[in-house]
Structure 1
Amino acid sequence: MEHTDEQLTTKQQTRILKRLLSYMKFHKVLLFWAMLFLALGTGAELIGPILIQTFIDDYLTPAQFPVEPLIALAVTYIILHVSAVFFNYFQQFWFDKAALRMIQRMRVEVFGNVAHMGLSFFDRTATGGIISRLTNDTERIKEFYVNVLSMLVQNFVFFIGIFAAMFYLNVQLALFCLALLPVVFILLHTYRKFSAKYYGRMSGKLSELNARLNESIQGMAIIQIFRQERRMRREFAELNDEHHRAWLKGMKLDGLLLRPAVDFLSIIALMLVIGYFGIISFNSPIEVGVLYAFVNYLERFFEPVNQMMARLSIFQQAIVAAGRVFKLIDHDEPAPPKRYEGNPQITRGRIEFKNVSFSYDQTTPVLKNISFTIDQGETLAFVGHTGSGKSSVINLLMRFYEPDEGEILLDGEPLAKYSKEELRKKLGLVLQDSHMFSGDVLENIQLYNQEITEAQAVQAAETVRADQFIQKLPGGYRHPVGERGGTFSTGERQLISFARTMALNPKVLVLDEATANIDTETEELIQAALETMKSGRTTIAIAHRLSTIKQADKIVVLHQGEIQEAGNHEELLQKEGLYYNMYVLQQGRRLEAKISG
C-alpha cells in the first residue's frame, strides 16, 4: 500500500458516503431523539417570522394595538425562541455524541484490522503512512460526522420548514425560490468534481510527509553521524512544498466556488423578490409583513447553503480520507491461517524442515531446499553471513510467513495445523531489538496477559536474573517504562525480554541474535540466563558471535539460502570450511582487541 494520490470518481465517492452513513445504524435511538428535537427546534425558529408578519400586517399597519392579543403574541414569540434554544442545544449535543461514537468505532475497527495483518503487509507499507490513516484521516472523518453530517441533516430539515413557510406566504415566490435549488446543486457538483482531485493529492502528500517524518526521527542518530541534516531538510522542504501547492489549489477553488458564488446568487434572488413586490405594488397594495417575512426566509434559505458550501471542503477531505481508511480496513493480508482440521498441542518441541524453499517477493529465493531436524531438548544454531537466510528460517517457524515449497513439522504435525494461539504460547521468541512499551516493568513482562500472574512474572525475572537490577529500581517492578524503554540499558531491556518469554513457559525457545548488541561484561550475565532458559527446551539460536553457540548440539551454516555445512562445533572446525574461516576470523579480531586493550 503506497502513498498514492487518491482521485476518486463520483461513483466511488457515492459508495464511500453510503458506507460512512452505514455507521449510523449503531446509534438509532440517539439519532432518533436528535432528529425529533431538531424538527421541534426548526419549527420553533421558523414560526417566529410568521408571528412578526402577523404583528406588522394585523396590528402595526392598521395602527391597532389591543393589549391582550399583543401580549399573547409576544409571550408566544419568547416561548418559541427559548424552546428553539433548548431543542437545538440537545439535538446538537446528541448528534455530536453519536458522531464521536461512530468515529470511535471506526478507529477501533481500523486498528484491529492493522493489528491482525501479516508481517508481509508491514514489509511493504511505510509506518508513517499507516499512522497517517489512523490519526489524520480518521480525524478528518470525525470532522465529517461532527461538523458536516449533523449540519446537513439540520439544514435539510430547515429547508423543508422554510419552503413550507414560503408556500404559506406566497406560492409564486416560493416556486421561484424552489427553482434556485438546481443552480445550488450545480455549484455543489462543480465544486466536488474539482476538489476531489486537489484534496486527493493533498492527502497523499500528507501521508508521505508523515512517513518521511517517522523515518527521519527514528534514524536521527544516523542522519547526524553522516551529516545528512542538510539533505534531509532539502528533501523534506520539497515534499512539504508539494503539499503546500496542493493546499493552495484547494484554497483557490474554495475562494471561487464557495461563499462568493452563493452570495452572488443570494443577491440576485433578493433583487428579484424585491422587484416582484415592487411591480405588484403598482396594481395592488402589498403587505409589508409578508415582504419582511419573505426576505427573512430568503436570508435563512441562503445561510444554510453558505454553511453547506463552506463545509464542502471538509466533506471532500473526509471522503478522500475515508477512502484511504476503508482501503486499510478492507485490506486482507492476515498472517498465514490454520489450514488443517484438528487442534493438536505442542508437547515435546521436535522440529523438522523438509525441503523448504521461500521467497519474500515470489521472485528472489532466500531459502532453497532447506532440511534439518531438531529433537526435543536439543539446541540448534544457525550461522552465516548477512542475507544468508537465518532470520527467514525463524519467520517461517513462527508462521509469520508460509513456505513456497516443502513442509515444516512440529511434533510430527504440519505447522499449519496448529492454531495461532498454540504457536504463540508454546514458541517463545527473543529478538535482537528488545521492544518495550510504555507502562511499568511488570506490565512489560506480563504484556497484559491475564494468564500470567504477578508471582509468575517475578519468578520468570528471577529465572533469567533480571530480578537483580529490577529490585534496585525506584518502585521495583512498578518502575515506569518510557517510550521504547529508553531509560534502560540494552542489556536490561534484553533481560526483561527474556523474562517476558519465560513467563509463557514455552516448549520451544527461538533466539534471533539475542546477544548481538550486548557488551562483553553483560554478555556473561545474558549467557547464564540463556543457559537457564534453554534447560529442557528445544532451542533454535541465530548468532553472529560463534563463541556463544559453541555448546550447541548442532550448528547449521547457511550460505545464500542453502545449507553449506552442518555438525557440532568440533566437527565443523575439522572440516576447515566456511564455519572454520568465520571462527578463525572472529578469534583473530578478539585477539587483536585484547592486545590493543
Structure 2
Amino acid sequence: MTTKEQLTVIRRLMGFAGPYKWFFIWSVVLSATISGINVFLPWLLQTYMDRYLRTSNATIQIMWMFAGFYFGGMLVRAIMQFWQNYSSTMGAEYMLENVRRKLFSQLHAKGMRYFDQTPGGSILSRLMNDTMTFANFWALLNTLILALFAVVSSFIAMYLTDVKVALWTLILVPFLVMTIWYYQHYSSKVYRRMRERLSQLNTKLAEAITGITVIQEFRQEDRTSKRFQKTNQSYYDTRKAMIKTNTLLLSPMINLFYALGTALVLGLFGVRGLHEIVAAGVIYAFITYLNNFYSPMSNMMDSLSDFQNGMVAGSRVLRIVDDQTLAPQQHPVAGATITRGKVEFRHVTFAYDQEHPVLKDVSFVVEPGQTVALVGQTGSGKTSTINVLMRFYEFQSGEVLVDDRDIRDYPAAELRSKLGLVLQEPQLFYGDIQTNIRMYNTAISDEEVRQAARFVQADEFIERLPQGYTTPVLERGTEYSAGERQLITFARTVVTDPKILILDEATANVDTETETMIQTGLNKIQENRTTIAIAHRLSTIQNADQILVLHQGQIVERGTNDELMAQAGYYYDMIQLQNAAHKD
C-alpha cells in the first residue's frame, strides 16, 4: 500500500473510533505525560550525581529527598502507564464490538448478488480475523504515538544536555528512516498476500466442513485434503516471508542503531574527556536519553508489523463497507399495504449479471386467492421469477405490481410480512422448535405457534418429542428428517399469516407419505391466499387455477392442466416424461 492509501485507510477507520474518541485522547495525554516523566527521572539523577555526589555535598536528608522524588516519579509513571494501556486497549475493544456490529448489519443490507459473488469463508474471515487485526491496529497506533512522544522528548533532553553530541546522534537518523520506509514498502505486499491466503484458507475450511457428507459419500477426502494442504502451504509460505522480513528489519536493526549511537556518544565524550572534565551525571543522563530515544523505536518497529497487518486488514474490511451490491431499494408510499394479494408481472426482464437475461418480457396476472404454478426445465426461469417477486434482486425493465401498485412502493417490512416463502431446502437455526417457528418474533404467542404446527400437520411428530416444542435444534437441524424440517418451515410461514404464499419446490425433498400428510394443510393454507408454486412433481399442481410453462426465460404456454394437455406442447411432453419415469 502506498502512503496515500494508508492515510486514506487510517482516516476512514477513525470514523469507527469516533464514539470512543475520549479513550484515545486520554491515552495520548497520558503518553505525553509519561514521556515528560521519562525525561525528568534521568535529569533528577544527573543533578544528584553532579551537584552532590561528585562534590561530596550529599547528606542523608538530600539522599532521601532525591530517592523519594525518584520513587514518586516511578510510582506516578507506573500508574499512568496502567491507565494509558487500559484506555487504549478498552477503546480498541469497544471499537471492535462497534465495527463487527455495523459490518454484520451492513451484510444483511447487501443484495443476494453480493453473496453469489463472495465466498462465505471470505466473508467470515473479514468479519472475524480482519476485524480482530484491525482492532489490534488501534492499540498499536497508540504505541506509535507513545514512541513519537518519547523520541521527541528524548532528543530535546539530549539537546539541552549537550548540543553538539545531540546533533551528532542525528547522523544515524537518515539510515533509520530508510529502514522504516523500506520495511513499510516491502511488508505491505507480504501482509496483503498473507491476508488473502488466510481468506482462501477459511473458504476451504468452510466448504469442507459444510460439504463433509458429500465429500465422504464420493470418497473425496484425499483430494480435499490435498487442496487444503496446497492452500495451507501457500499461507505458510507468506507467513515465512513475513517472519524473515520482521526478523531482519525490526528489533535487530534498531538494536544495531542503538549500539552504534551508544558507541558514538561514548566516543565523543571520551575525546572531550582528553581535554576537559566530563561530568559522570551528564554521561549517564545522555546514555539514558539515548536509550529512551531508541527503545521506543524498537517497540515501534515491532509494532510496524502489526501496523501493516492492520492496514491491510482495514482495507479488506472497508471493501465490505464500500461494496454497493445492496438489496433492491424500496421507495415506500405512505399508507401502502397489501390487502388482497393480487400479483402482476408486466413485461419483466431480469438478468443476474445485468447482461444475460434469464427472464425475457414475462407477463402474467394472479388474481387474489388464485393458485398459479410455474413449471419448466431447470434454468427456465422459475426460481428467478420468485427472486424478483421477493425483491431479492432488482429487475431491469418492466413492472411488478402487488394489488395494482408498484412493488417498490411498499415498505420492505410490509412485503416481508405479507409474502410467505417456503424453500426447497429447509433452513433451521440453533435453538429449539418453538423458536424456529416463531423466528424470534415476540409478538407471536406460544398458542399461535401450536396452531400453525397443527395447521400443517407438524404437531404430530413435535408432540412425540421428549420436550415437545422446546426440543433443541442443533446446527441446521440435522437431527430431524428432511420432511420434519420442511414441516417446521411450513409452520414458520403459516404463523405470520401471509396474503401471498410462495412455494419454491417446497415438497421436492419430502417423501410421498409426508407430502400426502401436509397436502391437506397446504390446501388449508391456500384458502383465501394467493399462491405461486414451483413444482417438479407436476401431479401436485394439476388443480392450479393457471399453469405457466417457462422455457429459456419466456412463458411459452399458459392455461389449466386440461387446456395444456389438449395443446400437446411443452407441458404435455413433461407430463409424458414423468409418467414414463414412474412406470420405469
TM-score (norm 1): 0.93
Q: Which residue does the alignment assign to 2:447?
A: 455
**2:80 aligned residue:** 87
Conserved 8 A contact 2:169-2:264:
no
Tell which deviates more after alignment, 248-257 or 544-553: 248-257
Q: Aligned AA for 2:468?
A: G
The reply on whether 1:36 has 2:36 as its aligned counterpart is: no
Cα offset, 1:339, TM superposition: 4.3
Q: 1:123-170 CA distances to partner (integer Å, 9 max, x unpaired)?
A: 111111111111111111012112x11211222222233234323322
Shift of 1:75: 1.4
Q: Which moved more, 1:489-498 or 1:401-410?
A: 401-410
Q: 1:342, CA displacement in angstroms? A: 4.7
The runs of 5 or more residues in structure 1 that have no matched partner are 1-7, 593-597
Deviates most, 135-144 or 15-24: 15-24
Picking from 409, 412, 419, the partner of 2:411 is 419
Instruction: Give the SS at the match of 2:204.
Output: helix
What does residue range 257-276 of structure 1 map to in structure 2 within 5 Å? 257-276=249-268
Residues 269-418 of structure 1 mapped to structure 2, 5 A cutoff: 269-339=261-331, 341-418=333-410
Q: Give the distance between the partners of 1:175 and 1:468, measured in 2 at CA.
A: 88
Q: CA RMSD, aligned part only?
A: 1.9
Shift of 1:378: 0.7
What amino acid sits opposite 2:84 in the alignment?
Q
In 2: Cα distance, 1:217 partner to 1:558 partner: 36
Match of 1:46 among 27, 39, 48: 39
What CA distance in whole angstroms lies between the structure 2 residues aligned with 1:238 and 1:156?
A: 42
Q: How many Å separate the matches in 2 of 1:25 and 1:350?
A: 48
Deviation at 1:200, TM superposition (A): 1.2
Q: Distance in 1 between matches of 2:442 and 2:343?
A: 29
Residue 89 (structure 1) shift: 0.7
Contact kept in structure 1, 2:332 and 2:411, CA below 8 Å: no
Contact 1:349 1:411 in 2 (8 A): yes
Shift of 1:503: 1.8
CA shift in 2, pair 1:463/1:179, >3 Å: farther
Alpha carbons 2:169, 2:265 under 8 Å: kept? no
The structure 1 residue matched to 2:97, chosen from 84, 99, 104, is 104
Q: Distance in 2 between matches of 1:33 and 1:201?
A: 35
Alpha carbons 1:109, 1:329 under 8 Å: kept: no
Query: Shift in Å at residue 539 of structure 1?
Result: 0.3
State the shift of 1:190 in Å: 1.1
Number of the residue aligned with 2:107: 114
Deviates more, 1:432-441 or 1:48-57: 48-57
Cα 1:449/1:176, change in 2 over 3 Å = farther
Task: Please state whether the residue corresponding to 2:345 is helix, strand or coil.
Answer: strand
Report % sequence identity.
41
Question: Does the 8 Å contact 2:428/2:476 carry over to 1?
Answer: yes
SS in structure 2 of the partner of residue 452 of structure 1? coil
Distance in 1 (alpha carbons) for counterparts of 2:468 and 2:242: 55
Separation in 1 of the partners of 2:246 and 2:315? 22
Residue type at the aligned position of 1:117: K
Matched pairs, number: 584
Q: Partners in 2 of 1:343 and 1:357 — Cα distance?
A: 28
**Partner Cα distance (1:258, 1:34) in 2:** 25
Distance 1:174 1:471, change over 3 A: farther
For the residues of structure 2 that align with 1:318 and 1:187, how far apart are their CA atoms? 20
Conserved in 2, the CA contact under 8 Å of 1:358 and 1:405?
Answer: yes
Deviation at 1:506, TM superposition (A): 0.7
Q: Distance in 2 between matches of 1:53 and 1:467?
A: 86
> Residues of 1 paired with 2:559 and 2:93: CA distance?
62
Q: Are the aligned partners of 2:100 and 2:127 in contact in 1 as well (CA < 8 Å)?
A: yes
Moved more, 490-499 or 563-572: 563-572
Paired residues for 1:172-571 under 5 Å:
172-178=164-170, 180-339=172-331, 341-571=333-563
Q: Measure, in 2, the Cα distance between the counterparts of 1:402 and 1:260.
A: 57
1:68 maps to 2:65: no
Whole-Å separation in 2 of the counterparts to 1:297 and 1:440: 64
| AA partner of residue 549 (structure 1) | I
2:225 and 2:506 mapped to 1: Cα distance? Answer: 35
Give the secondary structure class of the aligned counterpart of 1:365: coil
The DSSP-based 3-state class of the residue aligned with 2:358 is strand
